Chains A and B, each alone.
Chain A
């Protein structure tokens, strides 16, 4: 499965609304689903689509990202031909905050795009959960001889994608309008929403970067919107799960959605698997006092207490008499005897001493910062 495309993942967006979770790491590096990081989903989707040259636009605090990625071996990207490329992003200051695909980030890493021979570039945001194979969209793009193909999903006003751009297309799937969400009243019927992934001709992308080089921070999507009439831009549908992670609430509820069997089947038990860093933890150990229900639990844990409706990451210790309910406990946390957590998100290495009770609510889960001792 050789693909005539290279990939670029924007893994540099941060967010204030993730509270402490994205304090010292980009959203893409936030742990998710028991053993993954959010970035794994975009990265694995590309790898599973046969894209073996992938550039990662990193923010300035990229240590957690590189710690996780290494040389890309666990995604089969440690290779002679292609592989993983780190593309250091620029410091945006205030104005760059709301960009999806900032042209300046690409301009800084022009060589990555220049030295390749591929026809197309697949661009994706790194802070969303999905599992998608790009093969079909690439074929669509080729068939339509498109300049760019925007990937979209039908979604009504109740869906996950209400904050995304909306597309209007003619009968031939050619995009006629791209609208920012704010410009529309709430839509009750399902409507195509852009899912922050597109395919663009490499030459065109180089051309755009060159033409707009003198202007400061510009978003590729804005440029495409402005030039909608002169370019051949199409929309290709997908039915994959799409969860943008913007707020703590997003993070919490999307995590909890994983407890649904059907969601798991769709997201990570299909033909295309999500790859992640392998650390070779031993199996998880349950003592005779353990009580566990409706929970996802990674390897290397020791569970002696009660765990329900929760997600437990690798290497967590839950001592006797603990009650973990509706919580997300990140790697290497230690919950000492008789402590309780409800609607809490514990970042890595948190220690909760005995008898403590941590309590949040479904709408506003309590976030405990990395390495805190309670």
Chain B
């Protein structure tokens, strides 16, 4: 085994409850994105592209589907044991202690031994719920150049959205002077992307101190970064130029998907030099029936389309019956829509089924919730002839 310069820790254990029906059955990083991918594909492909081959994936919430998707990491060429490879890191019991992961910093602290085993110079913390293409090496180079102890990747966001993010204020030298998690008011629009590079020595010390502080929520954004700033650590902001989307809410998830339908899209998954890998099931090519009509849409392998589809994304293995009308919608893997149903601005969960003659996303009288985006939970079956109003979240009955 070779000692890696940098080890990546991917935080993939959060519940992602703001994604409603999409994360009821699986962890957020395992949620399908843009038809062919799952959200974690982006972080893992970035690691591969950046030659960071030792990746620890911290899991906790509903991990089964995520774990089986990651497998040995071979789909991302991360299965080389000589250079590290992928490690799934669930919470565990020790001799005298052991607990669930309690906050992002706590999760990393509990895997102290994992990082120490590789004893790298740098640790990069990633979160499994962002969609972006990024060369982490450039950030690492910046980190070294600035002789930084902690580097936070940042991106400029519109001023009105600043309250959704951790906002940084920097001086002329890009050194961070202030950090506020989800501020109500801020002059800066530099948002943290949730990607941090730490010197391992600095991180080690910070985690120990944080663990001893009983008032701490053990969170990177809320505790570690402000604490380190206060203690005078050298914290720098790396300004990332490129495409980055947080897909933590139904609305942002929906828009990030829909953006990919636009021509010349920033994410450019078609770029052969920086491909996004994924671990897809084996499917034959998709089939367009004689009566099918399709416009401005993305279609994956294994789909069978007999109806009308416009401005929509069909993931692998989707079935669209005869006389079906699908508009502005996202159909996740194996979703089925049977003859004569009408689907508007809806996210249909994996393996969910809409039986015949339904209207989903019907326009009601009142102003709908969540911008009128309807969400059908995975595996749910909507009975024949149902009418579901726009903006509804339809959950399975258990």
A residues near B (Cβ < 8 Å) are 33-35, 73, 259, 261, 264, 268-269, 273-276, 278, 280, 282-300, 307, 311-313
Contacts and interface: CB of A to CB of B under 8 A. Distances in A.
Interface string B253-275: 00000000101000001100001
Interface string B272-283: 000111101010
Q: How would you classify the secondary structure of chain B's contact residues: helix, strand, loop or mixed?
A: loop
Contacts of B310: 288
B76 to A, nearest CB: 10
B294 A290 contact: yes
A286 B295 contact: yes
Interface of B: 34-36, 74-75, 261, 263, 269-270, 275-278, 280, 282, 284-301, 310, 313-315
Contact of A295 (B263, B288, B293, B300): B288
A275 B291 CA distance: 29
B335 to A, nearest CB: 14
Given A278-B280, A290-B294, A292-B292, A284 B287 contact: no
B280 A297 contact: no
A77 to B, nearest CB: 14
B270 A282 contact: yes
B35 A293 contact: no
A269 B304 CA distance: 12
A286 B287 contact: no
A141 B196 CA distance: 62
A251 B207 CA distance: 64
Contacts of B299: 283-284, 286, 297
Given A283-B36, A283-B313, A297 B295 contact: no
Nearest to B310: A288
A300 B293 CA distance: 19
Contacts of A283: 34-36, 298-300, 313-315
Q: Which 9 A-B pairs have the closest CB atoms?
A: A34-B285, A298-B285, A283-B298, A282-B269, A283-B35, A288-B295, A292-B288, A296-B285, A294-B290
Contacts of A292: 288, 292, 294
B290 A33 contact: no
Q: Which of B74, B291, B300 has the most CB of A within 10 A?
A: B300
B282 A273 contact: yes
A298 B289 CA distance: 14
Nearest to A284: B299
A157 B59 CA distance: 61
Contacts of A299: 36, 285, 300-301
Nearest to A269: B284
A35 B290 contact: no
A286 B296 contact: yes
A74 B93 CA distance: 37
Given A282-B270, A297-B288, A287 B282 contact: no
Contacts of B270: 282, 300
B284 A296 contact: yes
A297 B284 CA distance: 9
Contacts of B75: 280
Contacts of A288: 295-296, 310
A343 B292 CA distance: 22
A297 B285 CA distance: 5
Contacts of B74: 73
Nearest to B314: A283
Given A34-B284, A280-B278, A297-B288, A286 B297 contact: yes
B295 A276 contact: no
A33 B286 CA distance: 11
Q: Which of B35, B277, B288, B315 has the most CB of A within 10 A?
A: B288
A289 B294 CA distance: 9
Contacts of B263: 287
Nearest to A309: B290
Contacts of A289: 295
Contacts of A295: 287-288
A274 B282 CA distance: 8
Contacts of A269: 284
A35 B301 contact: yes
Contacts of A35: 284-285, 301
Given A282-B270, A283-B36, A286-B295, A296 B280 contact: no
Nearest to A294: B290
Contact of B296 (A273, A287, A296, A307): A287
A294 B282 contact: no
Contact of B284 (A33, A286, A291, A312): A33
